[in-house]
Amino acid sequence: MTDVHVVGVGMTRFGKHPDSDASDLGAEALHGAVADADIDPRVIEAAYCGHVFQGMVTGQRILAQVGLAGLPLSNVENACSSGATAIREASLAIRAGEHDVVIAIGTEHLTSKFSGALTPDPSDPEAAVGATMPGVYAMRARRYMEEFGMTREQLALIPVKNKKNASQNPLAHFRKEITVEEVLASRPIADPLRLHDCSPVTDGAAAVIVMSDKAAKKYANGRGIRLAASTLRSGSVDVEPTSMTYEPLTWVTALEAYEKAGIGPEDVDFAEVHDCFSIAEVLRVEGLGLFEQGQYPWAVERGEADINGRLPINPSGGLIGKGHPLGGTGVAQVVELVRQLRGEAGSRQIEGARVGVAHCRGGKAVGIEGAACTVQILVR
Amino acid sequence: MTAPATGVSFRPGELETRPDGTGNLLGSRCRACGAHFFPIREACAGCLSDDLETVRFSTEGVLYTFSIVRQSIPAFEVPYALGYVDFPENVRIMGQISGCDFDDIKIGMAMELSLEPFGEDEDGNAMTGYRFRPVEAHND
Ligand SMILES: [Zn+2]
């Protein structure tokens, strides 16, 4: 079976784009990926497009804009894992031998669809009693503080770190550094979480072109980065109440990825994880096995997760700093992994990075631990 | 203490209300392995049996965690307290918390089901929903 190689990456600036829509953004990202791969776009054989609130056939509208209509294309919705799921589908099409060059696009024009707190689907029993996504993560933060003694100040160090990283990322939504004091003084959203603990409402898109061994040999000029694993799991129904300070769903998705890639968490050099909220970064990295359970806040305090630390987390700025255009998020994580692994990350470059992990997790439904979770491992 | 809520259940599949103002949260019990689920399921996630019966859950449990929600959708007036309560049947159910000041809410508190007015249906009829309140708040 062929390996899968990420050969071209592109993304728009993340932020507010009042004068464009999801297909404009997707087209810009696609053009960026094609230019980066330095290929004739007509060699692309198939496309997958991840988005959440953009309506029917957004992917087809993107291809029509760039003159590539006619390709087999699937639109993919998997909540905040939509873009990552599009990459997984693209990689499966290549591993299956069906295609040699496939593009995965993730896009979202979120500012035109939504503002304020994201909630589960209104049909959900938890939505019916007032569940919001910040509220759910706030409850997890409260429980984590109770169990492990994490302080509110420690939690604030995560948005401080991620916005510092974002200040070095020209495509990030936020370019300004913040202090712990500013986090603690920001507007309360769901106690103990405050505005700076939350990822913003962001417009943006990203695209990656993946290729088979054969196509990479022809087109990649040695710049391909191997997608060693791309795994997806759905949350299982709890048969009894389980800890909300640990993520079995993240772990099973990661474990399958580690096994496929032939590595373990100890081999990971850096990661982009789904920090939709500050506490989420804690839960993700511990769920991925990158840090011991109950210890990440202290590791952050010691600088271990900084760009020049032992195991940098969210060098792009993460969802909190770079922004979180739902469908675009998972694809943009892989864009960052590729730029880091190629040594093209500029002032936020991690020295000597060889193995990067991207993790997404999205959606909420009653009685299940998370809805859709993805893990991608890229190896230079 | 609020008057007994006499409206129809806001979600009859999940909350049973009776004319005397009492009620229960409803779920499923697997007859094969004994696992309980909220809300009602068609098959057991533990053993895949489809031999499930609908049961009324206990009305007292323990607060697992909570938050004070200060930004929500227009249907809910903020701020409100939201929590997860663990019930003896081994199910964890989310609900708003009433009957006490925000500052008095603590993880591990004993909570009880409280049937309360919960908005109106499309025709403007009062609906009954549920919240959780500290057991100590009985005689407030
Ligand atoms: Zn069973």
Rg (CA), chain A: 19
Query: What is the bridge-based pairing of β-strands A225-234 and A372-379?
Result: antiparallel
Predicted local confidence at residue B1, as pLDDT: 44
Predicted local confidence at residue A370, as pLDDT: 78
Catalytic residue among A17, A51, A196, A324: A324
Determine, yes or no, domain membership for A61.
Answer: yes
Is residue A173 domain-shared with residue A238, that is, in the same domain?
yes
Statement: residue A239 has pLDDT above 90: no
Give the structural domain span for A314: 125-199+229-379
Predicted local confidence at residue B19, as pLDDT: 86
Taking residues B87-104, what's their average pLDDT?
Answer: 97
Question: From CA A204, how far away is CA A21, in angstroms rounded?
Answer: 9
Taking residues A141-161, what's their average pLDDT?
Answer: 98
Is residue A292 domain-shared with residue A343, that is, in the same domain?
yes
Determine, yes or no, domain membership for A120.
Answer: no
Per the structure, how many domains does chain A have? 2
Is residue A54 domain-shared with residue A134, that is, in the same domain?
no
In chain B, what are the domain boundaries? 15-138
CATH number at residue A206: 3.40.47.10
Which DSSP state fits A12?
P
User: What single letter denotes the amino acid at residue A237?
Assistant: V
If you measure CA to CA, which chain B residue comes closest to A194?
B70
Determine, yes or no, domain membership for A119.
Answer: no
Is residue A174 domain-shared with residue A213, that is, in the same domain?
no
Does the active-site annotation cover A49?
Answer: no
Helix (H, G, I), strand (E, B) or coil at A216: helix
User: Which residue in B5, B123, B84 sits closest to A130, CA to CA?
Assistant: B84
Mean pLDDT estimate for chain A: 96
Residue recorded with tokens 């029509």? A64
Question: From CA A204, how far away is CA A198, in angstroms rounded?
Answer: 17
Question: From CA A54, how far away is CA B90, in angstroms rounded?
Answer: 39
Is residue A278 domain-shared with residue A219, that is, in the same domain?
no
Predicted local confidence at residue B138, as pLDDT: 56
Chain B positions with Cβ closer than 8 Å to A: 10-11, 14, 35, 37-39, 41, 44-46, 64-73, 76, 80, 82-84, 86, 90-92, 94-96, 107, 129-130
Predicted local confidence at residue B6, as pLDDT: 66
Long-range contacts of B40-45 (CB under 8 A, 24+ apart): B40/B13, B40/B14, B41/A237, B41/A367, B44/A239, B45/A236, B45/A237, B45/A238, B45/A239
Is residue A291 domain-shared with residue A208, that is, in the same domain?
no
- Tell me the backbone φ, ψ of residue A71, rounded to 5 degrees: -70, 150
Taking residues A207-211, what's their average pLDDT?
Answer: 98
Is residue A324 domain-shared with residue A262, that is, in the same domain?
yes
Handedness of CA A62, A64, A70, A75 (dihedral sign): positive
CATH number of B15-138: 2.40.50
Is residue A176 domain-shared with residue A319, that is, in the same domain?
yes
Quick one: pLDDT band at residue B122, thresholds 50, 70, 90? confident
User: Which residue in A113, A146, A108 sits closest to A138, CA to CA?
Assistant: A146
Determine, yes or no, domain membership for A281.
Answer: yes
Nearest to B69 among A190, A238, A240 (CB): A190
Does the active-site annotation cover A99?
Answer: no
Mean pLDDT estimate for chain B: 92
Is residue A344 domain-shared with residue A280, that is, in the same domain?
yes
Q: What is the pTM of this model?
A: 0.95
